[in-house]
Every structure is written in structure tokens, then in C-alpha cells.
Amino acid sequence: MKQFHYSLQSVLEYENGVLDKLKGEYAERMKLVNDKKNFIAQLQKKSSDLLNEFDAVKHEGASIERFLLYSSMIGRIEEQIRKEQERLARLEDFAAKKKEEVVAANIDVSKFEKLKEKRREEYHIQVQKDQENFIDEFVSYQSKTRDNAS
């Protein structure tokens, strides 16, 4: 009996390769997003620590220069946080676009896999019909040869 051969197997393999590549690119982009989120969290912690220090200095009393120094440092960190959040938003947009590509590639692969399964089922149905036809022909041939021999 002849083995099932899917004529679009090379296309399916290519699409799977494309999907794997896109998944890798998406993972890289998500790593950048997560790294940026961690960096922003560190900056926010630093800002919070500075605010706590500044509050302590206010209660103790300090020179105006020290107040200005804390105010300046907190302002710079908050500006840096804002810029990093803008960068994060861009990174998330890039990751979302890549995710859309992954979803589209996944749909393509699924279509080819479903088609392969459909063709495999059709192949098995045809093989079964061929076997039934062969048995019918064999039985009819056997009965004809018995009739002719009698």
C-alpha cells in the first residue's frame, strides 16, 4: 500500500519555520519590554527613596541648597521615568505588532495542518474504497472461475 504524501508538506514546513522565527522575535521584544519595566521600577524606587529622604530632611531642617539639590534630583528622576515610559510604550507597540504577525502566521500554519488532515482522511477513505473494490472484484472473479469450472 502506498504511503500518504502531502503535496504541500514543504510549504507547511516553511510556514512552521516562519512561525518559529516570528515567535523568537516576539520573545526578544517582550524581553526588552520586561527589561524596560524593571528599569522603570528601579527608577521609581529610587525616586520614592529620594522623596522619603527629602521628607526626613524637611523635618530635620536643612539649608536651602540641600532642598534645591533634592528637588533637582527628584525632578531629574521623574523626567527620566517619563522618558523611559515613552520608550516602554514604543517597545510595547513593537511587541504588539510582532504578536499580530505571530497570530497571522499561526493561522496560516493551522490552515495547512487542517488541510493536511483533511487530505489524509480523504486518502484513507480512498484506500478503503480501493480495498473494498479489490475484494469485490476478487470475489466476483472467484465466483466466475467456479461457475466456468463446473
In a domain, residue 144? The reply is no
In a domain, residue 146? The reply is no
In a domain, residue 37? The reply is yes
pLDDT given for residue 150 in this prediction: 61
Q: What tens digit of pLDDT does each residue of 7-37 get? A: 899 999 999 999 999 999 999 999 999 999 9
Number of domains in the chain: 1
In a domain, residue 134? The reply is no
In a domain, residue 26? The reply is yes
pLDDT given for residue 139 in this prediction: 86
48-to-42, 65, 68, 74, 141 alpha-carbon distances in Å: 10, 20, 17, 9, 93
Q: Which domain holds residue 32?
A: 10-113
In a domain, residue 131? The reply is no
pLDDT given for residue 118 in this prediction: 95
What confidence tier does 1 reach under pLDDT thresholds 50, 70, 90?
Answer: low
What is the b/e burial string over 94-122, where b = at least 16 CB atoms within 10 angstroms of the residue's CB? Answer: ebeebeebbeebeebbeebeeebeeeeee
Average pLDDT on 71-89 reads 97
Q: What tens digit of pLDDT does each residue of 94-147 get? A: 999 999 999 999 999 999 999 999 999 999 999 999 899 999 888 888 888 777
pTM of this structure:
0.75
CA distance 4 to 108: 22
What confidence tier does 58 reach under pLDDT thresholds 50, 70, 90?
Answer: confident
In a domain, residue 1? The reply is no
Residue 57's SS3 state is: helix
In a domain, residue 140? The reply is no
**Residue 50: all three cell numbers together:** 529620594
